[in-house]
Chains A and B, each alone.
Chain A
Amino acid sequence: MAVTLTENAAAHVKRHLARRGKGVGLRVGVRTSGCSGLAYRLEYADAVNPDDLEFESHGVKVVVDAKSLPYLDGTELDYAREGLNEGFRFRNPNVKDQCGCGESFNV
């Protein structure tokens, strides 16, 4: 049971956290939305809640709420550049079906 970051992704998270000046780590979760059902949440974590699970990856604390974990288990977060855009990409082995925009998915 884990959600991990690539080294590159971890470096970016650290840089973002340092620039922000606060936060204990990165919060990853899912919410319902979009055309195929679920969408990712990617936020700064300012606190760890009782029903959260914590993972450590390349020196970054990754926080996942218990409800989201079944949808995210085994996910690796990468940092990528596509044309002019840069950002985090989810490699989620649970995804069966993904909407065209990649913003939402089904498991």
Chain B
Amino acid sequence: MALLQIAEPEAASGPREPRRAVGIDLGTTNSLVATVCDGVPRALPDEEGRVLLPSIVRYLPGGGVQVGYEAQAHQGDDPKNTIASVKRLMGRGLKDVARSGNAPYDFVDAPGMVQLRTVAGVKSPVEVSAEILRVLRLRAERALGGPLAGAVVTVPAYFDDAQRQATRDAARLAGLEVLRLLNEPTAAAVAYGLENAAEGVYAVFDLGGGTFDFSVLRLARGVFEVLATAGDAALGGDDFDLRIARWALAQAGLGEPAAKDARRLVLAARAAKERLAQQDETPLVCELADGRRLERVLSRATFERLTADLVDRTLAPVARALRDAGLSPADVKGVVMVGGATRMRHVQRAVAEFFGRAPLNDLDPDQVVALGAAMQANVLAGNRPAGEDWLLLDVIPLSLGIETMGGLVERIIPRNSAIPTARAQEFTTFKDGQTAMSIHVVQGERELVADCRSLARFELRGIPPMPAGAARVRVTFQVDADGLLSVSAREKSSGVEASVAVKPSYGLTESDIERMLRDSVEHAREDAQARALAEARVEGERLAAAVRAAIAADGALLAADERAELERLLAHLDAALPGADTAAIRRAADALNRASEPFAARRMDAAVRRALAGRSLADLDV
């Protein structure tokens, strides 16, 4: 413990107060708040010592509001006014919600986001979430003895812009200054990565109450890189509860229960499920509205049989994410278990079997996201000493690359490469007789130059005139131990060179980097489509230009009908190029390419004959 000095009476405030910042896991089922004290993250309990706050809000006729356990107790008898799993409604329209089915609420269609009719009036999911966040804010303020400097609030990785914005609005409505929204798996990685400083590829397996989220991350020196994510936004512990409830009804020979009974039964089922993490069998008891009593004993074996397919359903996204990351299960050094539902034995077993190793659960799966968020909040609030507040010292925080045709980025040094490092890649000219090449150095994870940060431009001049594609320009990126980037370009046949030195991290704050990384994850699919379209266009344009140049140069090698066919296909490609239909451009280009193949072969023969006529073989740099 700290050693204290005697202070002057006036200086009653003592040493500088750290800025109080918290991390909040706003969960579908449970929410909680955590903070860092002297480098140690911890969840803050309520007055009764409970850390988890059920994400349930009940509206009362007089305008009162109950949140958490108090509200949960009325889920059965006041379902319409007791809002659970509101996170599923955040940023969602009525159409999205209607698909998910059996919620007992009175939905009101509203522009943008669905709303709920309650006894206290129509409420938006943002308002409902704000009630939960407000309770957590008050809890934190009481524990920390004053107003908060800010909060990091976590969101699932798959949340889109509307959902993120809704979460941000809810926090603001609850009186919280949002320092940042953080992806949940990232928060879990922060908690594990910084706590244990273990390096390697890790996976985060997050099975909560209503969502499944799987992420593959690389941890190195406290820096994490998201390699891939996948999940199922409609799979979680709730589904296991429903299975048990349905089983109990079938066992008792009952049909569809009234909404009230259904709620009660599901609560009883959930409690039974949670007990089965410890016990081999457990009683399931539920009083029905008509006074009847449903009583069964549920064994773990039965439970696992009833829900085996749900566990299997988690493995499909797992396999997909690994495939996306180009990894096999054996490459994963550890699987971090997040979410209360990962306590189920058969989930643990399935994960262990899939990866061939026992999953990691040293940190409380309920708390790990909030703990990581708290650590992030602590850094953002400036409570870390200089030097420790910056984790990305000896790796490249964002990929470095150059612009290629069509405004695309060709990555040369990938993000998180250790420095010093040097990598080279060969490029060629795009046009016949091109004598200069403009090299545009960019930084970022996005596929399009426009979405990345421009670092430097320079020109390589004096390339001898050659046909398109014949020049061989080697571009070398070198990053020294201080993070200083120099880029050089050399044309091989002539030896002409040009270079430039840039400081890649200049002007990039941690939040810039975070934002750019987040953008790259959020826009991955969009980018892939944009990239495919841009590539198809570049290819198409290149092909059209080449065919036109060939016709102009060697039209004599073509028969009249061949020439007419090529002209027709060229016009067809020209028409497709400006459009946004990637497949149509590809088809048109393929057709032109196939049709021009015999012509290209004839031209090649002629060119080789011409070239060899005046040169010896030794001159040919092949």
Contact surface of A with B, Cβ cutoff 8 Å = 13, 16, 26-27, 31-37, 39-46, 80, 82, 85-90, 98-104
In-complex Cβ contact of B6 among A16, A34, A82 (8 A): A16
Are B9 and A36 closer than 8 Å at their CB atoms? Answer: no
In the docked arrangement, what's the CA distance between A41 and B9, Å? 9
Are B35 and A44 closer than 8 Å at their CB atoms? Answer: no
In-complex Cβ contact of B35 among A35, A37, A42, A101 (8 A): A35
Given known contacts A41-B14, A43-B9, is B37 in contact with A34 (CB within 8 Å)? yes
Are B37 and A33 closer than 8 Å at their CB atoms? Answer: no
In-complex Cβ contact of A100 among B6, B7, B39 (8 A): B39
> Which residues on A sit within 8 Å (CB–CB) of B145?
32-34, 37
In-complex Cβ contact of B12 among A31, A99, A103 (8 A): A31
Given known contacts A33-B17, A103-B38, is B9 in contact with A45 (CB within 8 Å)? yes
Task: Label chain B's interface by main secondary structure.
Answer: loop
Most interface-central of B35, B37, B143 (chain A CB within 10 A):
B37
In the docked arrangement, what's the CA distance between A37 and B37, Å? 11
Q: Mark contacts of B1-37 with chain A using CB atoms, 8 A cut-off: 1 yes-contact digit, 0 otherwise.
A: 1111111110110110100000000000000000111
Are B5 and A88 closer than 8 Å at their CB atoms? Answer: yes
A96: min CB distance to chain B, Å: 11
In the docked arrangement, what's the CA distance between A87 and B5, Å? 5
Are B38 and A101 closer than 8 Å at their CB atoms? Answer: yes
In-complex Cβ contact of B4 among A36, A45, A88 (8 A): A88
Are B9 and A35 closer than 8 Å at their CB atoms? Answer: no
Given known contacts A33-B17, A35-B144, is B6 in contact with A88 (CB within 8 Å)? yes
In the docked arrangement, what's the CA distance between A40 and B5, Å? 11
> Which residues on B sit within 8 Å (CB–CB) of A99?
37-38, 40
The residue in chain B whose Cβ has the minimal distance to the Cβ of A13 is: B6
> Which residues on A sit within 8 Å (CB–CB) of B17?
33
The residue in chain A whose Cβ has the minimal distance to the Cβ of B3 is: A87
User: Contacts A27-B9, A34-B145, A88-B3 given; 16 further ones with Cβ under 8 A?
Assistant: A31-B14, A34-B37, A35-B37, A35-B42, A41-B7, A41-B14, A42-B4, A42-B5, A43-B8, A44-B7, A46-B9, A88-B4, A89-B3, A101-B37, A102-B1, A103-B15
6 contacts between A and B (CB under 8 A): A35-B36, A43-B12, A44-B9, A88-B6, A100-B38, A101-B2
> Which residues on B sit within 8 Å (CB–CB) of A42?
4-7
Are A80 and B42 closer than 8 Å at their CB atoms? Answer: no
In the docked arrangement, what's the CA distance between A87 and B36, Å? 24
Are A39 and B14 closer than 8 Å at their CB atoms? Answer: yes
> Which residues on A sit within 8 Å (CB–CB) of B467?
none
Are A100 and B37 closer than 8 Å at their CB atoms? Answer: yes
> Which residues on B sit within 8 Å (CB–CB) of A102?
1-2, 38
In the docked arrangement, what's the CA distance between A45 and B12, Å? 12
In the docked arrangement, what's the CA distance between A78 and B18, Å? 26
A-B CB proximity, top 7 nearest? A102-B1, A87-B3, A101-B38, A35-B37, A100-B40, A100-B38, A32-B145
Q: How many residues of B contact A (CB 8 A)?
A: 25
In-complex Cβ contact of B8 among A44, A82, A90 (8 A): A44
Are B12 and A86 closer than 8 Å at their CB atoms? Answer: no
In the docked arrangement, what's the CA distance between A45 and B37, Å? 30
> Which residues on A sit within 8 Å (CB–CB) of B12?
31, 41, 43
The residue in chain A whose Cβ has the minimal distance to the Cβ of B9 is: A43
A48: min CB distance to chain B, Å: 12
In the docked arrangement, what's the CA distance between A102 and B40, Å? 12
- B35-56 at interface with A (beta carbon < 8 Å): 35-40, 42
The residue in chain A whose Cβ has the minimal distance to the Cβ of B15 is: A103
In-complex Cβ contact of B37 among A43, A44, A82, A104 (8 A): A104
- B389-429 at interface with A (beta carbon < 8 Å): none
Are A80 and B3 closer than 8 Å at their CB atoms? Answer: yes
In the docked arrangement, what's the CA distance between A13 and B144, Å? 30
Asked if B146 CB lies within 8 Å of chain A CBs, one says: yes
In the docked arrangement, what's the CA distance between A104 and B146, Å? 14
Given known contacts A37-B143, A101-B38, A104-B37, is B4 in contact with A44 (CB within 8 Å)? no
Given known contacts A35-B42, A39-B14, is B2 in contact with A103 (CB within 8 Å)? yes
The residue in chain A whose Cβ has the minimal distance to the Cβ of B7 is: A43
B367: min CB distance to chain A, Å: 15
Given known contacts A33-B17, A35-B37, is B3 in contact with A82 (CB within 8 Å)? yes
The residue in chain B whose Cβ has the minimal distance to the Cβ of A82 is: B3
> Which residues on A sit within 8 Å (CB–CB) of B1?
89-90, 98, 101-103
> Which residues on A sit within 8 Å (CB–CB) of B4?
40, 42, 87-90
In-complex Cβ contact of B144 among A34, A86, A90 (8 A): A34
In the docked arrangement, what's the CA distance between A80 and B1, Å? 11
In the docked arrangement, what's the CA distance between A36 and B9, Å? 24
- B143-199 at interface with A (beta carbon < 8 Å): 143-146
> Which residues on B sit within 8 Å (CB–CB) of A98?
1
In the docked arrangement, what's the CA distance between A81 and B2, Å? 11
In the docked arrangement, what's the CA distance between A80 and B3, Å? 8
Are B143 and A43 closer than 8 Å at their CB atoms? Answer: no
In the docked arrangement, what's the CA distance between A35 and B144, Å? 5
> Which residues on B sit within 8 Å (CB–CB) of A90?
1, 4
Are B38 and A43 closer than 8 Å at their CB atoms? Answer: no
B559: min CB distance to chain A, Å: 85
The residue in chain B whose Cβ has the minimal distance to the Cβ of A104 is: B37
In the docked arrangement, what's the CA distance between A90 and B38, Å? 18
> Which residues on A sit within 8 Å (CB–CB) of B38?
35, 99-103
The residue in chain B whose Cβ has the minimal distance to the Cβ of A45 is: B9
In the docked arrangement, what's the CA distance between A15 and B36, Å? 37
> Which residues on A sit within 8 Å (CB–CB) of B144?
33-35
Are A26 and B6 closer than 8 Å at their CB atoms? Answer: yes
In the docked arrangement, what's the CA distance between A16 and B6, Å? 8
In the docked arrangement, what's the CA distance between A99 and B37, Å? 6
A24: min CB distance to chain B, Å: 11
In the docked arrangement, what's the CA distance between A102 and B143, Å? 15
> Which residues on A sit within 8 Å (CB–CB) of B36?
35
> Which residues on B sit within 8 Å (CB–CB) of A85?
3
In the docked arrangement, what's the CA distance between A94 and B12, Å? 22
> Which residues on B sit within 8 Å (CB–CB) of A100?
37-40
In the docked arrangement, what's the CA distance between A26 and B6, Å? 8
In the docked arrangement, what's the CA distance between A36 and B42, Å? 10
> Which residues on A sit within 8 Å (CB–CB) of B8?
43-44
The residue in chain A whose Cβ has the minimal distance to the Cβ of B38 is: A101
> Which residues on B sit within 8 Å (CB–CB) of A37?
143, 145
In the docked arrangement, what's the CA distance between A46 and B11, Å? 13
The residue in chain B whose Cβ has the minimal distance to the Cβ of A47 is: B9
> Which residues on A sit within 8 Å (CB–CB) of B146?
33
